[in-house]
Amino acid sequence: MQILLNFSTFHILSDGLYYALCVILSLAVLLGLHFMSRVKTAKLGNQVSALAIALGIIITLVKKDILPLWAIYPGMVAGLIIGLRVASKVKMIEMPQLVALLNGIGGAASAIVASFAFLSLHGGSDIFGRLTSLVAVSVGMVTLSGSVVAAGKLHKVLTQKPVILRHHQLYSTVLFFILPLLIVVSLVGNDAGGVIYLSSVVFVSLAFGLVFAIRVGGADMPITISLLNSLSGVAAAIAGFAVTDILLVSIGAIVGASGLFLTRIMCRAMNRSLPDILLGRTSLQGSSVVTPAGQRADGAIEGEQGEGIQVGDPGFATDDETSGPVDVRELISRAKKVIIVPGYGMALAHAQHLVKQLAGKLKSNGADVRYAIHPVAGRMPGHMDVLLIEAGVPFEEVYEMDDINDDFRDADLTIVVGANDVLNPSARNAEGTPIYGMPILNVDECSNVLIFNYDLQPGYSGVENPLYSRKKGVTIIQGDASVTLAELLSNL
């Protein structure tokens, strides 16, 4: 016990050793991120990064001589228990909102640390320390309120549609410029106003996070969550400057930079700019529907009779009115090259295990089965990958869009489960629509497409999908995917 209370006396961690360990642990976090970039090694990457963070906590406690402060241990134990319980109880379908909440908690933690740093420095000569403290508080509180709103939208406690207030842009602009003004005023203010300045920054930051998050639509949540994850890292890094903790600066910067990089990749995948997403300019309001030029509102292509949509028994669906019913069982039994495209509808229906079973049936017939994942499918980065791996889909069968997009034309069958906008051909030529220019999965190039969607309504973008009205080669089975897939499997 005496040894624990006198770590600093024996200089267990010299400055040189401490800095060396900080470099090693930072590199370990980077290595973990590298592993997480591949589905096959993602679990290992998560474990490596988590271990590095745990070791970082330990060496910080030792170096800063915090170990003797026994009051911190009940909180650490409580946090550990809560984290383990949440990890064991949360369902895969709830993972996006959990990630959003964790981003918010990270931002709040950084803001709390920075708040105490500011109060201890206010009125002193350390301008840099006070400045970084307030900036960390600001970024952390924006992350907290934005993440809570994002989690609420994902959990359907709040509407998933963009919420636009009267004079919304004015509110955003005013709050955005008030924040730095408050920070500057606090730097020159007297010591007695420290709590008032800090409280003002907290309030305005929370309001700004709320105002920017409520106008983001549900389909744009993957990008928003990626951005909030980045902001949580930025808040931690700035808080590290405030408390002069090099390890916090390093790891926070890694999280912030990787999050921004991922956000940029996802914006490119949707052909959208981040400001447009944050300002709610990428999705339609209400229930309005965009019909691309050359297409009627009923979904049929002008000059042709739209005959391609007819839905019925999972064993028999209609491909074309002139050709009669299509035996889905025969279609599946003949297919030797199959691509499965999962979407958010699969997540909502909890149908990933049924999709895996269907793939097993196809393989038993000698088919080669692969999965095509769009970068922004679902409600968080990697959402479809997480669900498929949880269902036991082999890593090597899961392909990113760029790696499989050219193979649709040679596939015998493409099976779509709960996806719409990410395969909407209108993205190529429907100028003026929210999805114009967005890279899509080339499902329409496949000769036979089997679609399991809840209904024929447009996706979140509100743009009609002309694939639904293709005259031949498209079979659509409407309804909850967990029900329709189960019926199909029983018929097979």
Inform me whether the pLDDT recorded for 321 exceeds 50. Answer: no
Predicted confidence band of residue 315 (pLDDT cuts 50, 70, 90): low
Question: What does the pLDDT look like over 88-104, one tens digit per residue?
Answer: 888 877 888 898 999 99
pLDDT tens-digit map of 69-82: 888 889 899 999 99
Catalytic pick among 245, 319, 421, 444: 421
d(CA 372, CA 254): 29
pLDDT > 50? residue 304: no
pLDDT for residue 406: 93
For the question of residue 412 being annotated catalytic, the response is: no
The more confident residue out of 229 and 190 is 229
Task: Count the Cβ atoms, other than its own, within 10 Å of residue 92.
Answer: 16
Identity at 183, one-letter amino acid code: I
For residue 407, name the pLDDT band (cuts at 50, 70, 90): very high
Q: Look at residue 279 and tell me whether its pLDDT is greater than 70.
A: no
Structural domains in the chain plus CATH codes: 2-278 (no CATH), 316-491 (3.40.50.1220)
| pLDDT over 70 (residue 8) | no
Residue 122: which pLDDT band, with cuts at 50, 70 and 90? low
Band the pLDDT of 485: cuts 50, 70, 90. very high
Stronger pLDDT, 125 or 438, i.e. the higher one: 438
State residue 325's pLDDT score.
Answer: 53
Q: What does the mean pLDDT of the chain come to? A: 83
Lowest-confidence region among 236-240, 260-264, 279-283, 343-347:
279-283
- pLDDT at 49 exceeding the cut of 80: yes
Least confident window among 58-62, 65-69, 282-286, 325-329: 282-286
412-459 pLDDT tens trace:
999 999 988 889 998 888 777 777 888 889 999 999 999 999 888 877
Category of 271 on φ-ψ map: left (φ > 0), alpha (ψ -120 to 50) or beta: left
The span from the CA of 212 to the CA of 200, in Å, is 18
Give residue 140's pLDDT band: very low, low, confident or very high (50, 70, 90): very high
Pair type for strands 413-417 and 449-453: parallel
Residues 490 and 315: beta-carbon distance below 8 Å: no
Dump strand ranges (E) for 72-157. Answer: none
Distances (CA, A) of 87 to 35, 39, 84, 242, 355: 21, 20, 5, 31, 25
Q: Note the pLDDT tens digit of each residue in 172-219.
A: 889 989 999 999 888 876 666 778 889 999 999 999 999 988 888 766
Dihedral of the alpha carbons of 15, 21, 26, 31, in degrees to the nearest 10: 160
The pLDDT assigned to 331 comes to: 86
Give residue 472's pLDDT: 85
* Whether residue 368 has pLDDT greater than 70: yes
CA distance linking residue 257 with residue 297, whole number of Å: 44
